[in-house]
Amino acid sequence: MENQNFYEGRILVNMAASVMRQDDLKPLHGNLDWERLFRVADYNKISNLIYLAILGNNEKMPERWKTRFYERYSDILKFNESCTEGEREILVLLELKKIPVLVLSSSSRRQLYPREEMAGESSLKLFFLDPEDYLFAKGYLVNIGYETDTLYPGVGEKMRIPGRFSVEIYHTFPFKTQVYQRGMEKLLQRAFLKENGNYIYEWNAIDQLVYLMIQSAYLYVTGHLQIRHLTDLYVFYRKAAEEDQFQELENRLKEFKVNILAQKLLHLSYMWFGTREECASMETEEEELQVFDILEKNVFYGMTGKFGPETDEQALDLRSDILKEEERENRMEKRALFYRRLREFFSLVRRQLKELYDILYSR
């Protein structure tokens, strides 16, 4: 099964890379399980890239699955038509209601791709500076037709107008460790008001890249890193690198203690999707190739919720910190459950004693 995950992952990465680099796809050999490939591509949010690869290389596949890939590609085209207006509607609403909010990410990321239809369906992601404003904003979104699509317990939720635009709203940063929480607080302090706005905050290109890289590292160690995350990382870094602030980027990544791990994931994205010239600019020693093999396998194994052998110390430390925090949360939940049941027991006893008292003194 692990070899199958790796084999299928490599096939999909090669197909997506041929589209990203806009070069020819090598012919695919053997009997491919297109049903499984579709599920894996869909999970990784790259079905539209796979459709473009099939279309551009006249790859033969069962008509049923070609249609399924086309449907996902069509969904992206529809998203591109509605996302700008959908985001504008939400941000104007929050501005009018005087609710301060930080834009964590937006669909403008699609403009970094060679063609917009190559990008994924990236939701508008908002962090509310005041938890009370989160509740008010949710109410306003419900009033204009949004419904809860996915709950993120303890941090926020994804809301969507059925068949249309979606938005993710957060009242707490979606990271469990104290190191990440402290790092995000510092990152939050560097946000600035959007041009011509009084309540909408955003980051500069370097801070957006920091967020994208530390998010990728976190998702990697929790087994939720998708191929789409690495295509986003690749195109975003290409743009942000023009500002030539590598030392500043390194220093900010160190605040999260994932600077080495995040750089490895960035390097992997270039190995997958970069041109020969770009890959050559990121020199890789022969002994480092084994490190990237492990990294690559763990990205693919993460699709099944399993972890392969890990050698990166920062990844091991981050995973350990997350597990410790989850254990602490579990203990707190069990303690809260115990005291709730204890209160319910005493409440029941009190009611029974009162009933008994009423019976005795009514005679």
Q: How is 216-257 classified by DSSP, letter by letter?
A: HHHHHHTT---HHHHHHHHHHHHHHGGG--HHHHHHHHHTTT
Residues 112-146 as b/e (b if ≥16 CB within 10 A, e otherwise) read: bbeeebbbbbbbbbbbbeeeebbeebbebbeeeeb
3-state SS of the chain: helix, strand, coil percent to 5? 65, 10, 25
CA-based angle 27:29:34, to the nearest 5?
100
Average confidence score pLDDT of the chain: 85
What are the tens digits of pLDDT across the range 229-266?
999 999 998 887 666 677 888 889 999 999 999 999 99
The percentage of the chain sitting over the pLDDT mark of 70, rounded to a whole number, equals 88
How far apart are the C-alpha atoms of 83 and 106, rounded to whole Å? 9
Q: Which residue has the higher pLDDT, 154 or 1?
A: 154
- Summarize the confidence of residues 271-282 as an average pLDDT: 77
Q: What local confidence, expressed as pLDDT, does residue 284 receive?
A: 57
- Summarize the confidence of residues 295-314 as an average pLDDT: 74
The DSSP bridge partners found for residue 162 are none
What are the tens digits of pLDDT across the range 167-207?
999 999 999 999 999 999 999 999 999 888 899 999 998 89
What are the tens digits of pLDDT across the range 56-68?
666 677 888 889 9
And the tokens for 136?
């008010």
How far apart are the C-alpha atoms of 347 and 349, rounded to whole Å? 5
